[in-house]
Amino acid sequence: LPSLTAAQQLRHAQNSVLYDDHGNKLGILTSNENRILIPYTDIAPSMRYAVIAIEDKRFFNNSGVDLRGIARAFVQDLVQQRSAQGGSTIAQQFVKNALQAQGNRTVFQKLREAALAYHLTRKWSKEDILTNYLNSIYFGNGAYGVESAARTYFGRDPNHNGCGETVDRPCAKELQPWESALLAGIIASPSAYDPVAHPVAAKARRDLVLKNMLDQGRLTPALYQNAIQQPLWSGALDPPRVRTLAPYFTTWVRQQLIDKFGPEKAFEGGLKIKTTLDLDLQNAAEAAISKYLSYPGGPTASLVAIDNKTGYVRAMVGGRDYTQQPFNLATQGSRQPGSSFKPFILAQALREGASVNDIWPSRQRDFIVPGTKGKEHFVVNNFEGTYVGARSLGQALTYSDNSVFAAAGIKYGTKKIAKLAERMGIRTPVSHNLAMTLGGLKQGVSPLDMAHAYETFATRGSRITGSLGANDDGPVGIQWVKRIKDDRYVKKNERKSTRILSPKLADQEVAVMQTVVSQGTAKRAAYGGFAAGKTGTTENYGDAWFIGFTDKMTIAVWVGYPDSNKSMEHDFGGAPVEGGTYPAEIWHDFVVASLDIQKQRDAERLARVNERRAKKGLPPLVQQSDGTTTTVPTTPATPVAPSTSTPSTTPSTTPTTPAPQQQTPQQQQPQQQQTPPSSGGGTTGGGTAAPPPT
């Protein structure tokens, strides 16, 4: 006989639960079957009795085997030359599900299942068998398990409004007798007794279950009469789906858990997962996007925020509505970065010994594509045809000068630039074509990877990830995993830091990127504190980006039409959507909201500290403008106005590791201009025309 390993696994199965960084429950993990496991006490008594009434009326008294049914099946199989039918107790059906037996089985297969069912009944309680059976059986319309079925068929019924939205209020616990009877009736043939496709047959089957419950003493005559008169629920079904807060983020984490632990342990291993998400910041991100892009037919946005110190993903918006569009733009979107790719070119130039003060021609450029014998040209134009004759490399980033960066990218090598961008955090292959110097990549990038790569600038040149990070040293979405049953750690994230750029080089670049916000293309992102970043706008206004960082977080914002490269030429109040419009404004609002959230948390934390100090007879603490705390003098030397009576809890906006104070590139221009070669060492082809990113 086969062992009961499969059945034992089902018996001990427990859904894994996701939490945010502050212990807020995000939801449970389910497989593609959306099987939601619940205990015996969360199954309505009427549901238990309904299943027993129609499937196995001697369930509480039998040995787990229906000998008469097996004998009948034996005759049919051997004498009448037909496949065995019937003859299954609830215990036998559960064993069949555990063994994943499909379709009609021979009498010998049924004998094997019967032997296992008998053995199972001697080892397990009847409650365990019934609970695991109801958690595993198929109820039609994609619903596996009684909780998923209750949500599917009755989740939208006003009488059950809100059930299933939290794990603390299961729908299966609220089932009425007529609802339980309908579900129990479906089990024998989910297609034939589908209440949507075959309502007449489903009602007749339901009424048969109710009659059996009456005959078996599970319903009083009055309850039976009331139940038999109830109509079938005729409203829309609520198809099984993952119900979590921040579904784009939890779906991203879900796949990582499958990759690290396997699907069985991830979904039904009873794991407690503390993610990196901050639900307050998540709500702030969604609000910032909704403020500007609420029109259903217009552009949408994606946002990813990463903590600079830890590499933790704090917020992720992958689209407007997960139920309508589950495709995650934040992680799966492959969009052209436009000029937001230019910081990687500047970084490689600085690695090669260039200076942000080097002067380059600012004019229309025409480069011959290598390997084409002069037949293909890479023609570069500045945005709106604006040229200033000459610019420093730093100024070219501030004002997004295409002609300068095309020449610099070609001189310092597209292959080297591609390799550096990948080392900094871009996990999709970066092409070597000439157009890549303006962000015209053969394969696009995701907001998650752009935020991850820009974080390397914010950390003074170190790429931050962790042992529980996404594939290929990606950002971190999981802090730790524990077992629910004993609260013991299964795995904890360990921070990993890899030096990519020297601190001096990173500081030089950050100083220039600050001018993008203070005086360049991203002025709308300025909020009064430390900010650095780069905008990007692609050809025909199909993609608009702003990726920037504060001293705390790196945030990438992308705006566009998710299903196409449709132009946004008139979507900013009749004007074009560029990186410095909606993306910069969304970034600004999110940063301001994050500061308000931190301010409120600091005030609440200080209040708790002062409450404990008061109990000990200690004077209260007040927060200073620099974020430190001090005590209030209880006996001042001379009477003075209580200038510290109102504590300031505004967090400092000065970066913990500020970029070195440098003059802007305009101020540092040398007297003698240095003119680079007009063509350079790109080794692979590009396009014949360049996009006008900003």
What CATH number does the domain containing 259 carry?
3.90.1310
* Dist. CA 272–CA 479, nearest whole Å: 11
Are residues 222 and 269 located together in one domain of the fold? Answer: no
What are the 10-residue block averages of pLDDT along the chain, 694 residues in total?
Answer: 51 82 92 83 97 93 77 64 61 79 59 84 91 92 91 89 81 97 95 90 97 97 97 80 86 91 84 98 98 92 98 98 91 95 98 97 90 85 83 96 96 97 97 95 96 98 96 93 94 97 98 98 98 96 98 98 91 96 99 97 93 94 78 56 42 40 38 36 39 48
**Which residues, at least 6 apart from 593, have a Cβ–Cβ distance to it below 8 Å?**
281, 284, 287, 288
Judging by beta carbons within 10 Å of its beta carbon (0-12, 13-18, 19+), is residue 447 exposed, middle or buried? buried
* Residue 644 falls inside a structural domain: no
User: Residue 157: which of 134, 178, 137 has the closest Cα?
Assistant: 178
Are residues 37 and 22 located together in one domain of the fold? Answer: no
DSSP-H helix ranges across 499-549: 503-518
Domains identified in the chain, total number: 2
* Dist. CA 430–CA 290, nearest whole Å: 32
Are residues 16 and 51 located together in one domain of the fold? Answer: no
Element holding 238 (H helix, E strand): none
Are residues 177 and 265 located together in one domain of the fold? Answer: no
Among 451, 472, 499, the domain-final residue is: 499
Q: Yes or no: say if 411 and 681 are a contact pair by the CB < 8 Å rule.
A: yes
Are residues 19 and 66 located together in one domain of the fold? Answer: no
* Residue 124 falls inside a structural domain: yes
Intra-chain end-to-end CA distance of the chain, in Å: 70
Q: Residue 187 is part of a domain; what is its CATH number?
A: 1.10.3810.10
Amino acid at 68: R
Are residues 42 and 7 located together in one domain of the fold? Answer: no
Element holding 392 (H helix, E strand): strand 389-392
* Residue 636 falls inside a structural domain: no
* Dist. CA 544–CA 213, nearest whole Å: 63
Are residues 187 and 91 located together in one domain of the fold? Answer: yes
pLDDT value of position 240: 67
User: Residue 65: which of 135, 144, 136, 129 has the closest Cα?
Assistant: 129
* Residue 125 falls inside a structural domain: yes
β-partners of residue 533 are 548
Are residues 115 and 158 located together in one domain of the fold? Answer: yes
- Residue that the structure tokens 């007749």 belong to: 204
Q: In this structure, what token pair is assigned to residue 345?
A: 């070119």
Are residues 203 and 251 located together in one domain of the fold? Answer: no
Strands 543-549, 489-492: pairing is unpaired
Are residues 204 and 260 located together in one domain of the fold? Answer: no
**Which residues, at least 6 apart from 472, have a Cβ–Cβ distance to it below 8 Å?**
427
* Residue 642 falls inside a structural domain: no
Burial letters 593-613, b for 16+ CB under 10 A, else e? bbbebbeeebeeebeeebeee
* Residue 637 falls inside a structural domain: no
Are residues 74 and 216 located together in one domain of the fold? Answer: yes
Are residues 13 and 117 located together in one domain of the fold? Answer: no
Among 499, 523, 550, the domain-final residue is: 499
* Residue 409 falls inside a structural domain: no
* Residue 414 falls inside a structural domain: no
**What is the model's pTM?**
0.76
Residue 161: domain span: 33-228
